Amino acid sequence: MGRLSWAEGVRRVTAFTGAGISTDSGVPDYRGPQGIWTKDPSLANLFTYDNFLADAEVRLRFWQVFAGRRMGVEPNAAHRALAGLEAGGGALRIITQNVDGLHQKAGSTPRKVVELHGSLATATCLSCKERTPAAEAIARLPEEPTCACGGTLKPSVVMFGEYLDGDVLSLARNIAAASELFLAIGSSLQVEPAASLCALAVEHGARLVIVNRDPTPYDDLATEIIREPIGTAVPEICAALSS
């Protein structure tokens, strides 16, 4: 990767992570060659909030697909490197599009991880709003998980057709604006408004570094674009930031 001059003198770092950071953990991404949407494009249209509400078969299929993204999955070298950067005293915040909880599992402080699209750790009843541990809901498969009140259980994640939580998005924007270095890792940067955090960070003076296999809509704003595998690139970056 060479000398990372853009890492010099940086104090406040934000890591914006997408599905690509978790592929080394065995979690498929969405748009890559082996991605969920690539292998079955119908799923992208199927898993909308309206379809989830309307069709019990869609709800069951959703639970089956996303149960596999959570069970038995462990953090990889990239997650651990970011956790290590924080543990070493780095001023690091993580904004993630992922719902797998792997940053926290790797040791990142939960309050320093902003989960834009929610979390698979819990499910929310659409009737009484009670939250249930996702593991309890998943254990009821292959039957559709339901709440004790009889209401529909929905994984606590943001689906297509739903808005991001306004407070969560506002927090993410504040973090991006305060960044000196904004690392966009493993994200196609095609999902808005999350991807626009890159532009916001740059507008406020941050250096944008994109670590992704494929081109993104924000490449023109980047100080550097890194196409190396995330599992090797991120530990190298964190080592440079720690030195």
Q: What is the mean pLDDT of the chain?
A: 90
What number is the average pLDDT over the span 122-150?
92
Give the pLDDT score at 42: 67
Give the span between the Cα atoms of 32 and 38, in whole angstroms: 7
Give yes or no for residue 3 having a pLDDT over 90: no
Residues 29 and 35: their CA atoms lie apart, in Å, by: 5
pLDDT score recorded for residue 195? 93
Query: Would the pLDDT of 30 be above 70?
Result: no
Global pTM?
Answer: 0.89
CATH domain 28-68+121-157 topology: SIR2/SIRT2 'Small Domain' (3.30.1600)
Say if residues 161 and 49 touch (Cβ distance below 8 Å): yes
Q: What are the sequence ranges of the domains in the chain?
A: 1-26+75-117+164-243, 28-68+121-157
pLDDT digits (tens, 9 = 90+) for 176-227: 999 999 999 999 999 889 999 999 999 999 999 999 999 999 999 999 999 9
3-state helix vs strand vs coil in the chain, percent to 5:
40, 20, 40
Question: How many whole angstroms separate alpha carbon 229 and alpha carbon 78?
Answer: 10
The single-letter code of the amino acid at 16 is F
Q: Where does 126-237 show beta strands of DSSP type E?
A: 131-133, 153-157, 181-185, 207-211, 224-226
Helices 230-242 and 77-87: angle between axes, nearest 10 degrees? 10
Name which of 20, 2, 4, 10 is nearest 211 in CA terms.
Answer: 20
pLDDT tens digits for 156-166? 999 888 999 99
Band of residue 135 on the pLDDT scale cut at 50, 70, 90:
confident
Query: What local confidence, expressed as pLDDT, does residue 22 receive?
Result: 93
59 and 52 Cβ atoms separated by less than 8 Å? yes
Rounded to the nearest angstrom, the gap between the alpha carbon of residue 142 and the centroid of all alpha carbons in its chain is: 27
Q: Known catalytic residues?
A: 117
For residue 37, pLDDT beyond 80 = no
For residue 220, count CB atoms less than 10 angstroms from its CB and return exposed for 0-12, middle for 13-18, buried for 19 or more: exposed
Q: So what's the pLDDT on residue 43? A: 67
CATH architecture of the domain with residue range 1-26+75-117+164-243: 3-Layer(aba) Sandwich (3.40)
- pLDDT (0 to 100) of residue 67: 73
